[in-house]
Amino acid sequence: MAAMTKPPLVPLAGYEEYPAEEMERRAASFAAAVGRRRSVRQFSTRPVPRPVLEECVRAAGTAPSGANHQPWHFVVVEDPAVKQRIRQAAEREEHAFYTRRAPAEWLEALEPLGTDARKPFLEDAPALIAIFAERHGMGPGGRSLQHYYVTESVGIATGILITALHHAGLATLTHTPSPMKFLNEILERPLHERPFLLLVVGYPAPDAMVPDIRRKSLEEIVTFR
């Protein structure tokens, strides 16, 4: 058995430590900021500056991933014609979901959110970000490179992207019509990339409304042992 070589390592750079009081202040400030995030379904058509989208995707790309393979690809859609095609395909799947596929219990759970098969936000919002999970990549010599913990890795990257967009002052909506294979065709992505989520991005419409819901308290979601 060949001996394993040690990987090249470099000193940790960029880490900043804060006094306990400053840590608490920063943590509370961040919690309050992300606590204002809401899923929005009514968007303004006002365009979003391209550099803002670029920097938020850049932030998402810093997410940890299995074996550091970074198994994600982001497609930012701003073209109105492409957004229209995505809406038409998504609404076909959503119509099938609401009329045939969804069990009564699921529809009952969705009722307080006021959702239905119509998805005008897919055209109204200035940008859609289609997030793809790469089942495998390409290694040296063009050989297939297995990716690990793909769902977990892409999920973390998506969370960072949503938070970065909120931090920048934009509203988002996670949209997951099922199935989403139409995104591969419309966006010309290879079949080894699986559509993970469609993120709707933009400014909320001036008259935007959101469901009257509550979030679980800290005591309901954490256990310290």
Q: Parallel, antiparallel, or unpaired for β 127-134 and 136-138?
A: unpaired
The pLDDT tens digits of the residues spanning 139-162 come to 777 788 899 999 999 999 999 999
> Going from the N-terminus, what domains does the chain have, and what CATH number goes with each?
38-205 (3.40.109.10)
The whole-model pTM stands at 0.94
One-letter amino acid for residue 119 of the chain? K
**C-alpha triplet 73, 77, 83: angle, nearest 5°:** 130
Q: What is the DSSP string of 69-82?
A: ---EEEEEE--HHH
The pLDDT tens digits of the residues spanning 107-116 come to 999 998 889 9
CA distance 140 to 114: 50
Kindly list the distances between the CA atom of residue 183 and the CA atoms of 88, 120, 136, 186, 194, in Å, as whole numbers in the listed order. Answer: 11, 17, 18, 5, 9
Tokens, residue 79:
């073209």
Confidence (pLDDT) at 1:
55
CB atoms within 10 A of CB 90: 22
Closest CA to 210 of 46, 2, 39: 39
